[in-house]
């Protein structure tokens, strides 16, 4: 017999046995839900129900008396996987027929192989997972890299669950930042990138920001002498100016020719800020010359992004330009539609959306997880100069996405929680509450580097490329130390697999609501909770299997009596349930947690018990089957995480 969910089979039998027993006990309330959870130790069985504690409150009887009465009503001979049921301290504990259960679990893993664990849903949906969407102004930084890793892992989870999934990248090419780059790029005569294009354009962005900010702050400081500006305000401006002057010194030291030429060209403009603002306005309006300029710069940066992300195995099905929605009138159509609702008003030539009124009128605060006394801030739709804001354009983009998918997941940082809420409220106002309810904001916390403060505008950042390169280098040193007999080609290949896997795991394994503290000691730890640890466990299983002769005797799973063997089999059987929960509730980190716990059990098993030399031979065969099952499940978990599973390390 093969099962896609062995532990689920056992759980179903326990649930059926419990319901049948409850029906036989007279004058006992019939609960709508049955709690069945793994007990703290296998000595208390594989599943336990605390139902009797709830029943005791309703009936006035003692939990242990109820548990004993219900347990006696269960005839285990009617079930395939239950060997016994015991009442312990008010709990009803279910014990699996371990030889049968091990045969079902390990046999299913062998039969299903790369499909094991990936239980397909009965009713699949079409999903768009929009992720990464880093502004095309500089290289992807390690601080931004958590987004593509989480987004890609979510897409992998949903696809393995049987859903149709499209991965979208929203190119944020509208706004002042794109205009700043275009301004600097134009001033330099549209130079051909030296080196990786996103890195080169990032230098131009920082240099242009630096030069224009220094000019702006100097003028602001001069104006303070003509007015009665408080000393405290003057000091604040001076401090900002000093910071930018320090950045200018750094830039001139690192890129003297580019920086000096750019400074010389920008100094020819009396008011660079007005030129940048005009570029921004012209681009949103679709002025042909400006369109060509900004698209050219953005394409260069995106070329670099694609190269970086492909190293991590991250790709997209669609690249969606924010500007396209402005040029196609989709944004103006949304604004006009919102103006026809009672939720839009004008204030000093600024168009505002009353998000609070929508939340009240549609009684949405509880649904959105808000307190009744929380007032949702209004959303600016259109500035006084006629340009729109990001969230306004995002409403049009969301309507477009829902024409192509039933469900949409936006992988966006926690700092965008308000904007994502306002987006949903705008959809409700447009009578698209169904879209709002099928739109998920997958929020995540920051990546921090102890002792390092990142600032993209000031060029103080560590790029994703630099981290991947450093991880590969450090992995090479570790692999060479641990396996000096490997060929150079093998060392290079394994170090790339291990290094990139280490970075990816470090960004996925932490609960998204918590920040990732990125340190090399944690990322490249071969001993616990890291990709190298999981990969090393997989490689260890492969090594055991390579060394073993082909079994000639059938396994006897009844001989797997050590607690660590039972725990490992149980862990393997629970992978499908872990996967279902991770996919249905968008919990990519739980796959990492599971793989780490399985690796812990496997390495304890390996250290404690012989495999190839185990006696009698049916025990050795059973342990080899167990090792093979660990190999398959670890590999499958790593695939979901987007990490390669090497056979040697």
Question: Average per-residue pLDDT in the chain?
Answer: 94
Summarize pLDDT for 530-565 with one digit per residue, the tens: 999 999 999 999 999 999 998 889 999 999 999 999
Tell which residue, 57, 52, 44, has the closest CA to residue 73: 52
Burial class (CB in 10 A: 0-12, 13-18, 19+), 343: buried
CATH 1.10.730.10 in the chain is located at: 483-640
The pLDDT of residue 380? 96
Q: What is the 3-state secondary structure (H, E, C) of 4-32?
A: CCHHHHHHHHHHHHHHHHHHHCCCCCCCC
Mean pLDDT for the stretch of residues 166-170: 98
451 has pLDDT over 80: no
Q: C-alpha distances in angstroms, 77 versus 13, 73, 250, 527?
A: 12, 12, 78, 45
Matching CATH number, 483-640, of 3.90.660.20, 3.30.420.40, 1.10.730.10, 3.40.1830.10: 1.10.730.10
646 has pLDDT over 80: yes
Mean pLDDT for the stretch of residues 110-138: 97
The pLDDT of residue 120? 97
pLDDT band at 206 (very low <50, low <70, confident <90, very high): very high
SS3 state of residue 606: helix
Range with top average pLDDT, 20-29, 216-225, 599-608: 599-608
Please give the Cα distance from 483 to 190 (Å, whole number). Answer: 49
Sign, CA torsion 450/455/456/460: negative
455 has pLDDT over 80: no
The pLDDT of residue 104? 98
Q: Give the CA count within 13 Å in the CB-facing half-sphere of 289.
A: 4
The pLDDT of residue 503? 95
Tell which residue, 391, 372, 374, has the closest CA to residue 383: 391
Please give the Cα distance from 158 to 79 (Å, whole number). Answer: 33
Burial class (CB in 10 A: 0-12, 13-18, 19+), 373: exposed
The pLDDT of residue 448? 87
Please give the CATH superfamily to which domain 126-172+319-448 belongs: HUPs (3.40.50.620)
Summarize pLDDT for 14-60 with one digit per residue, the tens: 999 999 999 998 878 888 778 899 998 888 999 999 999 999 998 89
Burial class (CB in 10 A: 0-12, 13-18, 19+), 372: exposed
pLDDT above 90: percentage of residues in the chain:
86
pLDDT band at 424 (very low <50, low <70, confident <90, very high): very high
Mean pLDDT for the stretch of residues 102-123: 98
Matching CATH number, 6-96, of 3.40.50.1820, 3.30.70.580, 3.30.565.10, 3.30.1360.70: 3.30.1360.70
Burial class (CB in 10 A: 0-12, 13-18, 19+), 585: exposed
Q: Do residues 33 and 55 lie in contact, with contact meaning Cβ atoms separated by under 8 Å?
A: no
CATH 3.40.50.620 in the chain is located at: 126-172+319-448
The pLDDT of residue 387? 87
Neighbours of 451 (CB within 10 A): 5
Q: C-alpha distances in angstroms, 536 versus 190, 409, 507, 526, 568?
A: 48, 33, 19, 7, 17
316 has pLDDT over 70: yes
The pLDDT of residue 529? 84
The pLDDT of residue 649? 84
Q: Do residues 599 and 638 lie in contact, with contact meaning Cβ atoms separated by under 8 Å?
A: no
Element (H, E) at 168: strand 164-171
The pLDDT of residue 230? 85
Q: Lowest mean pLDDT of 28-37, 82-91, 416-425, 585-594, name the range.
A: 28-37
pLDDT band at 295 (very low <50, low <70, confident <90, very high): very high
pLDDT above 70: percentage of residues in the chain:
100
Summarize pLDDT for 625-644 with one digit per residue, the tens: 999 999 999 999 999 999 99
Summarize pLDDT for 265-275 with one digit per residue, the tens: 999 999 999 99
DSSP H helices in 516-587? 520-523, 531-547, 563-573, 575-584
Neighbours of 318 (CB within 10 A): 13
The pLDDT of residue 454? 67
């Amino acid at each position: 017999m093969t099962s896609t969910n062995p532990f689920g089979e056992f759980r179903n039998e326990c649930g059926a046995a419990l319901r049948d027993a409850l029906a036989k006990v007279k004058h006992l309330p019939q609960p709508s839900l049955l709690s069945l959870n793994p007990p703290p130790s296998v000595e208390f069985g594989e599943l336990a129900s605390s139902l009797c504690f709830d029943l005791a409150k309703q009936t006035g009887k003692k939990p242990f008396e109820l548990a004993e009465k219900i347990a006696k009503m269960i005839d285990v001979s009617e079930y395939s996987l239950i060997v016994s049921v015991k009442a312990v301290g008010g709990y009803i504990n279910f014990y699996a027929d371990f030889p049968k259960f091990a045969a079902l679990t390990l046999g299913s893993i062998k039969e299903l192989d790369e499909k094991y664990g990936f239980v397909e849903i009965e009713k699949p949906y079409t999903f768009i997972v929009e992720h990464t969407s880093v502004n095309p102004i500089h290289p992807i930084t390690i601080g931004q890299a958590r987004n593509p890793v989480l987004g890609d892992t979510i897409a992998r989870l949903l696809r393995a669950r049987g859903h149709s999934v499209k991965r979208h990248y929203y190119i944020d090419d509208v706004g002042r930042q794109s205009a700043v780059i275009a301004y600097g790029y134009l001033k330099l005569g549209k130079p051909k990138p030296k080196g990786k294009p996103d890195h080169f354009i990032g230098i131009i962005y920082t240099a242009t920001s630096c030069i224009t900010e220094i000019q702006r702050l100097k003028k602001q400081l001069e104006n303070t002498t003509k007015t009665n500006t408080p000393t405290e305000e003057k000091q604040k401006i001076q401090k900002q100016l000093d910071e930018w002057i320090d950045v200018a010194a750094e830039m001139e030291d690192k890129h003297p020719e580019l920086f000096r030429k750019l400074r010389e060209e920008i100094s020819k403009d009396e008011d660079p800020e007005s030129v940048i603002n005009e570029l921004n306005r012209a681009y949103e309006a679709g002025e042909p010359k400006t369109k060509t300029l900004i698209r050219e710069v953005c394409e260069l940066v995106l070329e670099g992004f694609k190269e970086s992300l492909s190293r991590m195995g991250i790709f997209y099905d669609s690249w969606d330009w924010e500007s396209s929605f402005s040029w196609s009138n989709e944004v103006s159509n949304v604004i006009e539609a919102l103006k026809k609702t009672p939720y839009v008003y004008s204030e000093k030539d600024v168009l505002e959306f009353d998000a609070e009124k929508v939340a009240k009128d549609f009684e949405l605060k509880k649904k959105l997880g808000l307190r009744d006394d929380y007032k949702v801030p209004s959303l600016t739709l259109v500035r006084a100069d006629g340009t729109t804001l990001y969230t306004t354009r995002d409403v049009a983009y969301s309507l477009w996405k829902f024409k192509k998918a039933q469900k949409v997941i936006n992988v966006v940082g926690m700092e965008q929680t308000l904007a994502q809420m306002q987006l949903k409220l705008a959809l409700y106002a447009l009578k698209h509450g169904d879209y709002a309810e099928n739109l998920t904001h997958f929020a995540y916390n920051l990546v921090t580097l102890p002792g390092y403060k990142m600032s993209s505008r000031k060029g103080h950042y560590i790029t994703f490329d630099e981290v991947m390169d450093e991880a590969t280098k450090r992995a090479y040193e570790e692999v060479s130390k641990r396996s000096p007999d490997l060929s150079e080609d093998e060392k290079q290949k394994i170090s790339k697999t291990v290094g990139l896997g280490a970075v990816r795991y470090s960004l996925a394994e932490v609960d998204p609501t918590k920040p990732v503290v990125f340190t090399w000691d944690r990322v490249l730890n071969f001993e616990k909770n890291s990709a190298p640890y999981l990969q090393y466990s997989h490689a260890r299983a492969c090594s055991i299997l390579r060394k073993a002769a082909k079994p000639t005797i059938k396994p006897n799973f009844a001989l797997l009596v050590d607690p660590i063997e039972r725990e490992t089999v149980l862990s393997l059987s629970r992978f499908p349930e872990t996967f279902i929960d991770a996919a249905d509730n968008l919990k990519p980190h739980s796959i990492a947690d599971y793989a780490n716990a399985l690796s812990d059990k496997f390495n304890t098993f390996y250290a404690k018990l012989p495999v190839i030399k185990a006696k009698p031979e049916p025990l050795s065969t059973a342990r080899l089957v167990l090792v093979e099952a660990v190999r398959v499940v670890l590999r499958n978990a790593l695939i979901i995480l987007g990490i390669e599973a090497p056979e040697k390390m």
